[in-house]
Chain A
Amino acid sequence: MGLNTSGRSSGSARQGEGSGFLFSGASVGTGMVTKPPPPSNCNAGIGLRLPHVAEIVATRPHLGFLEVHAENYMAETAALDRLLELRPDYPVSIHGVALSLGSAEELDRPHLGRFKALIERVEPVLVSEHLAWSTVGGAYLNDLLPLPYTEESLEIFCRHVGEAQETLGRRLLIENPSSYLRFRHSTIPEAEFLTETARRTGCGILCDVNNIYVSATNFRFDPIAYLDSLPAAAIGEIHLAGHHAAENVDILIDDHGSRVALPVWELYSAALKRFGAVPTLIEWDTKLPPLTILLDEARHAQELADVHRHAQFA
């Protein structure tokens, strides 16, 4: 072969995920916050993913917000430059995936510092994290692992949420997980665990409707009852995503890689009735489709929110 003495490649900087919107004026540590009036304009958003950035820059689709995973923007990369370019035209929601608020061990202070620096750069409308953990003994397991819902874990989780909110100077929204196992020594229902966290720390709740559907199917509980037991005033955002059935076992897996399923849309309508038209994200992180598919899903979410709004004011 001919000897090539130089090479070049574009787009090699890696980017993961995407998801979000928000609500403003909430303060930390004051318990429940009052709900803002329903936004009159678009409140459906999509995750910003590297393969879609150029098209979004060129076509500026009508969207309520863009959501990004915090950990993909913590280095001085071209991806961050692009996000900052889009920032004047779109509210941004920052969704953290690696703070590991549910770890028994202390929070990672340097990571929290990077998170704070990113918030100062991007000035997001919403900042969210998970009711989960991912780090123990210095190993980051890159998954949102389940917590036992006990008084011990509630105390630890609330302490970490409080510390994070204090350091970040922002109210966090905490997302309910999708679950594939339950611990025998759990004593607190998940929705109650979230509610109590919001009460103690003043955090809001990111209600992932697909996660509720997946967990409710896996553990045979009533998803409507779960929705009903969340404090409506604390809900600051909704996530919608796809799921699939696991092979050979009777379990649904949250996959962020397919269209929102019909029963999840139905549950979303129930959530709108209960929580109002809060910012809603189409979350799609794997097997990324063309941008038009995401926009189509966001449009459907917007239509359902508009139906709800009109019904409310009719």
Chain B
Amino acid sequence: MRKSSPMSIDMPSLLELQLQLRRAVLGGDGAGLVAAIHGDGLDPAVRLRIYRNHAFAALGAVLESTFPVVRRLVDKRFFAYAAHEYLREHPPHSRLLAEYGADFADFLASFEPCADLPYLADVARFEWALNMAATVREAAPLPIEALAAVPRENAACLALRLQPSVGYFASGWPIDTIWQANQQSEVPMVDLASGGTTIEIRRADEGFSWQRLDPGAFAFRRALAEGFALAAAAATATVEDTAFDLAAALDRIFAEGLAVGLGAC
């Protein structure tokens, strides 16, 4: 049986109530809602906190699983604090949680309490790129013989399409060394002054793989990934490495199964 209408004039509309509940869940401010909730023997604020705790625990766990090295570098408690601050200001906009955390690195870069770890945001960017690569399905590699079929007059304008999962990551810090060190139970010393790194990331097996590239190969492949023709990409590479060898670089790209199609500029 339905109760006879207990509506009061200040009964919130569904939209108002949902906006208030959002404030209570994300900001911990449930003051506007308390009057709308039955106590049922408990402080309504305690009831609201159950939902708030659940949302934060679940989203915090998403960030922990995406950024395990960041978590290790700052320790568990500090990570929980940083994740909490991030969640409050940057709740997910996508309903696919695999997409949550895209701007966590930017958040860390400007998060004052992390200021003494200047490489931390780049570690987060690296972990994000690894996760993204792992979710993308690989395409069938193109055999190098496909190049021979290209008419000579089209060669100057030829472009290569690379594996959909591939990404290029550059940092002024030795991010790969930091990442590798933190895969071990006893973290070895990392020489932060050892310089920057240029890395290629792609999907492999059920996860990801990455390799450090020299600056010439990195510039070449990144330019190809951005859609530049071979000639333009080679010119970019030569700026980084005057000894850049186009034929050898192409051999290696095909040998690694990186090229999946041909295009034109």
Chain A residues bordering chain B, tally (CB within 8 A) = 67
With A and B bound together, what is the CA distance between A240 and B187 in angstroms? 43
B97 on interface, CB distance cutoff 8 Å:
yes
**Interface 9-residue window, one of A5-13, A22-30, A262-270, A298-306:** A5-13
Q: Which of B15, B44, B65, B205 interacts with A105 by CB under 8 Å?
A: B15
Residue of B nearest to A16 (CB): B97
- Measured CB to CB, the closest approach of chain B to A176, in angstroms, equals 17
With A and B bound together, what is the CA distance between A146 and B177 in angstroms? 47
Task: Report chain B residues within 8 Å CB of A182.
Answer: 37-38, 40
Q: Mark B102-135, 1 if CB is under 8 A from A, else 0.
A: 0000000000000000000000000000110011
With A and B bound together, what is the CA distance between A189 and B3 in angstroms? 9
- Interface contact B38-A14, CB-CB below 8 Å: no
Q: Mark A79-105, 1 if CB is under 8 A from B, else 0.
A: 001000000000000000011100111
Q: Which of A8, A74, A181 interacts with B204 by CB under 8 Å?
A: A8
- Interface contact B96-A74, CB-CB below 8 Å: yes
Once A4-B176, A183-B36 are accepted as A-B contacts, the answer to whether A76 and B137 lie under 8 Å apart by CB is: yes
- Interface contact A137-B48, CB-CB below 8 Å: no
Q: Which of B7, B35, B209 interacts with A8 by CB under 8 Å?
A: B209
With A and B bound together, what is the CA distance between A246 and B189 in angstroms? 43
- Interface contact B19-A142, CB-CB below 8 Å: no
- Interface contact A183-B17, CB-CB below 8 Å: yes
With A and B bound together, what is the CA distance between A147 and B93 in angstroms? 21
Q: Mark B13-31, 1 if CB is under 8 A from A, else 0.
A: 1110111011001100000
Once A14-B98, A142-B92 are accepted as A-B contacts, the answer to whether A148 and B2 lie under 8 Å apart by CB is: no
Task: Report chain A residues within 8 Å CB of B66.
Answer: 14
**Interface 9-residue window, one of A55-63, A202-210, A247-255, A273-281:** A247-255
The 6 closest A-B pairs by CB, nearest first: A98-B95, A104-B15, A181-B47, A5-B212, A6-B211, A139-B91
Can you pick out 19 interface pairs between chain A and chain B where the beta carbons lie within 8 Å of each other?
A: A10-B206, A10-B207, A12-B208, A13-B98, A14-B66, A72-B98, A76-B135, A98-B96, A104-B13, A133-B18, A139-B22, A139-B92, A141-B55, A142-B97, A143-B51, A148-B14, A181-B50, A185-B11, A250-B41
* Chain A residues close to B by CB (< 8 Å): 1, 3-14, 16, 71-72, 74-78, 81, 98-100, 103-105, 108, 111, 133-143, 145-148, 150, 152-153, 156, 180-185, 187-189, 192, 218-220, 246, 249-251, 253
